[in-house]
A and B are shown apart, each in its own frame.
Chain A
């Protein structure tokens, strides 16, 4: 069964460093998402991406964040200068364009720890 994959599973970085989180969505899906979950809190939407551009972003997704689909298979989230409060689990998700149930398929997540 096709699945969304994410790498790395755990990333530890120093405050102020850049990180890139990588995702490979399901191959025939056209809508892509990033969510995050700070420990003990709810899952929050960050950004959605369709047709090579951002279709929606939340207030969390400020100028420090960017997304890219560099090669038609990978979907990346970059944080330019990490802060302590960026420590969270980051989930990638994808959705088939014509899904009548708007079902999103999630990857296993990347745990980001900022020291």
Chain B
């Protein structure tokens, strides 16, 4: 079956620090990969996505590259802001199995 493993949090950073959240996966079939973000008190929002190997998804200064050889999709941001404080979820779907499989989520807190 499909599964996603994320680095455990919580992660606490100072503003302008570099953020990396590791994500690795196992999948039956060729997965599409996603990062979702959940801001305090809100639902899940798609942050970025990649659908084939070596694709780079990017949005709001965040980036993640689909690495098939290492089955990874690590999330990075070069300079975080307080407003980036949220829970980040790595997720995947595979063709013919359109439900999302989520990682456990990583709580990120950015301090001013």
Q: Is A45 a contact partner of B104 (Cβ separation < 8 A)?
A: no
With most chain A CB atoms within 10 A of its CB, the pick from B44, B51, B102, B104 is B44
Query: Interface size for chain B: under 10, 10 to 19, 20 to 34, or 35 or more residues?
Result: 20 to 34
Q: Which of B33-53 contact A (CB under 8 A)?
A: 34, 36, 42-46, 49, 51
Most buried by A among B49, B51, B99: B99
Instruction: Tell me the interface secondary structure of chain B in the complex.
Output: strand
Contacts of A109 in B (CB 8 A): 43
Chain A residues lying within 8 Å of B93, measured Cβ to Cβ, are: 102
Q: Chain A residues near B98 (CB, 8 Å)?
A: 31, 48, 95, 102
Main secondary structure of the interface of A (DSSP, over half): strand
> B-facing mask of A73-115, CB < 8 A → 1, else 0?
0000000000000000001010100001111111111000000
On whether the beta carbons of B102 and A106 are closer than 8 Å, the reply is no
Task: Assess whether A43 is interfacial by the CB under 8 Å rule.
Answer: yes
Q: In residues 90-112 of chain B, which contact A (Cβ within 8 Å)?
A: 91, 93, 97-105
Contacts of A56 in B (CB 8 A): 97, 99
A102 CA to B63 CA in the complex, in Å? Answer: 19
Q: Given A91-B43, A108-B42, check contact A43 B89 (CB 8 Å).
A: yes
Please indicate which of the listed interface residues A31, A45, A102 has the most CB atoms of chain B within 10 Å of its own CB: A102
Contacts of A51 in B (CB 8 A): none
Q: Tell yes or no: B22 within 8 A of A by CB.
A: no
Q: Contacting B45 at CB < 8 Å: which of A35, A95, A106?
A: A106
- Find out whether the CB atom of A43 lies under 8 angstroms from the CB atom of B102: yes
